[in-house]
Amino acid sequence: MKFEQKTTRRNLIYVNIFGTTQLHLRNPLVIAAWSVAFPGMGHLLLSKYLRGLVLFLWEILINYKAHVNLLILYSCIGNFEKAKQVVNIQWLSLYLPIYIFAIWDSYRSTVDLNHVCLLARREDKDIIPFKMNFIEINYLDKRNPWVATTWSLLVPGSGQLYLHRLITAFFLIVWWIIICYNSKFLPSAHCTLLGDFKQAKELLNMQWFLNIPSVYLYAMYDAYTNTVETNKLFDWDQAKFLKKEYQSSNFNMTLKNNESGVNMHIVSTFDHSIYLELAISEIQMKGIKKENILAIPIDKRDEDIKLFDSIHSSDGLSLFDLPAILGVIFGIFGEVYGFILKWGPFLWGLIGILIGGLLGLIIKLILTKNSKRRSKDKRGTEVVLIIECLDTQIDMIKSVLWSNKALGVSSLSINNN
C-alpha cells in the first residue's frame, strides 16, 4: 500500500548520464563479507561510491606498505620467520583499525539503507528513467544478468559498462590493469600454460597477485546483482506508468455493435519490456484512441522463488552471493598454497575459485530447496493488454502486437444480426 503524505522524501533510483544509483534490500552479512575480502567493496555495492573508493585506495596503499598479503602468504605456508621479516609493524598498526571499521560500517550502513529502501517503496515516488545530454545517453532498461556476468568474466569492469555504470566500470578496469601489471599476472599465466611452473612462480609478485580473486569476483557479483535489481525497478516503473496512463474509466468492457461496424476486444499478454510500450505507441499512431487501450500489470505472488534470475524473471533471490564469497576465499588459499605446489599459484588459484564457487552453489541450493516451489519454468504473464477496436482493424493490431513480442494474442467479438 502506498504511504500517504504530501511530499516524497526518498527516491528508489537516480538515473544520470554517468550511471544508475538505486536502493534495494541487501543482506548485511553479505555486504560485510565483501568488506572482509577487500575493504571498500561492501560500500561500493551499497552505491556509497566516495567512501568505497577511499577505503579501496587505503587498502591498496596500506596493504602494500605493511606487506599484509605477504604476511598472509608466509603464515599460511608455515614460514613464520619469513612472515615476521616481511611485515612492517608500523604500517600494520594503521591497517587494522581501518580494516575493522570498513567491515563494521558496511554492515551498519546496509541495515540503515534497508530501512530507507522500505520507506522509499512506501512513498512510491515517480522516477525519471531517461537522461540525455551532449556527451551521453542513459536510460532504465532490462538486461540479462548472465550477459553482464559473462562480460565481467572476460574483463572486470566490462559488465558495468554493459549496465552503463561508467564510474564503477572505469575504476574497475583501471585497477584491474594496475594489479595485473604489478603482479606480473599475464606473463606468469603464459608460462603456466606452457608448463613452465617454476618460471611462473618466480615471475609473480604475490603481494599484488593475492588481490586478484577479490577484484575479479567482485566485478562479476556487482554486475550480476545490479542487473537483477535494475530489471525489477524497470518492471515497477513500467507497471506504474501503465496503471496511470492506460486504465481509463471510459474504457468499454462490454461487447456491443457500433454504427460503423462490429466492436472487437483484442486481448494480448506481454512481459515487462520496452516492446510493450512500443506496441502501445504504434497502435495509437494507427488510430486507436488512448481510452480504448487497457493495460493491466499482474501482481506476482510474494512467495514465488526462482533460483536463476533472467531478463524476464528477477525476484531478488540470487544464488551468486555465497558462491562469489567462497570463490574469493578458496581462490586466495589456492594462490597461497600454489606458491609451494607444483602447478603454481595461477592454476591453483583458478582451481580454488572453481571449488569455492561450486561449494557455495551446492550450499545455497540446499538452503533454498525447502523454499523453492516445485515447478518447471512457470513464468507467468506480467501484463495483460486489452484493445477495443473495429473488426476492420483486427489484422493491423495483431500484426503490431506480434511484431513487438507479444506472448499471446486473442480476440472477442459479436456479430451484427
- Alpha-carbon span 47 to 265, nearest angstrom: 46
With a CB cutoff of 8 Å and minimum separation 6, the contacts of 187 are: 203
- Alpha-carbon span 104 to 102, nearest angstrom: 6
- The pLDDT of residue 158: 93
Contact 334, 348 (CB under 8 A): yes
Q: Which three cell numbers stand for residue 341?
A: 605446489
Record the pTM.
0.78
Contact 120, 10 (CB under 8 A): yes
Contact 41, 35 (CB under 8 A): yes
Look up residue 133 and give its DSSP letter.
-
Alpha helix positions (H), 318-382: 321-338, 344-369
Contact 276, 293 (CB under 8 A): no
Number of other residues whose CB lies within 10 A of the CB of residue 182: 14
- Alpha-carbon span 121 to 123, nearest angstrom: 5
Cα–Cα distances (Å) from 290 to 16, 295, 389, 407, in that order, read: 30, 11, 11, 22
pLDDT in tens, the chain (417 residues): 444 555 567 888 888 888 888 888 888 888 999 999 899 999 999 989 999 999 999 999 998 998 888 888 888 888 888 888 888 888 888 888 899 999 999 999 999 999 988 888 888 888 888 888 888 898 888 898 889 988 998 899 999 999 999 989 999 999 999 999 998 988 888 888 888 888 888 888 888 988 988 898 899 999 998 998 888 888 888 888 888 888 777 776 665 555 555 577 888 888 888 888 889 998 988 888 888 888 888 876 554 445 555 555 555 456 677 777 888 887 777 777 777 777 777 777 778 888 888 887 787 777 766 555 444 444 567 888 888 888 888 888 888 999 988 888 887 765 444
**164-169 long-range contacts, Cβ below 8 Å, gap at least 24?**
164/19, 164/20, 164/138, 165/19, 165/20, 165/226, 166/18, 166/19, 166/136, 167/18, 167/19, 167/49, 168/19, 168/44, 168/49, 168/222
Mark 247-259 as b/e (b = at least 16 C-beta within 10 Å): eeeeeeeeeeeee
Q: Which three cell numbers stand for residue 130?
A: 531517461
Look up residue 298 and give its DSSP letter.
P
Contact 169, 219 (CB under 8 A): no
Look up residue 305 and give its DSSP letter.
-
- In degrees and rounded to multiples of 5, residue 264 shows phi and psi of -125, 155
- Alpha-carbon span 209 to 184, nearest angstrom: 8
- The pLDDT of residue 44: 93
- Alpha-carbon span 271 to 255, nearest angstrom: 27
Q: All domains of the chain, ordered by start, with CATH?
A: 13-240+305-369 (no CATH), 246-298+381-413 (3.30.70.260)
Residue-wise DSSP of 226-254: HHHHHHHHHHHHHHHHHHHHS--TT---S
Nearest in space to 171 (alpha carbons), one of 184, 182, 160: 160
Number of other residues whose CB lies within 10 A of the CB of residue 411: 15
Specify the length of the chain in residues. Answer: 417
Contact 348, 335 (CB under 8 A): yes
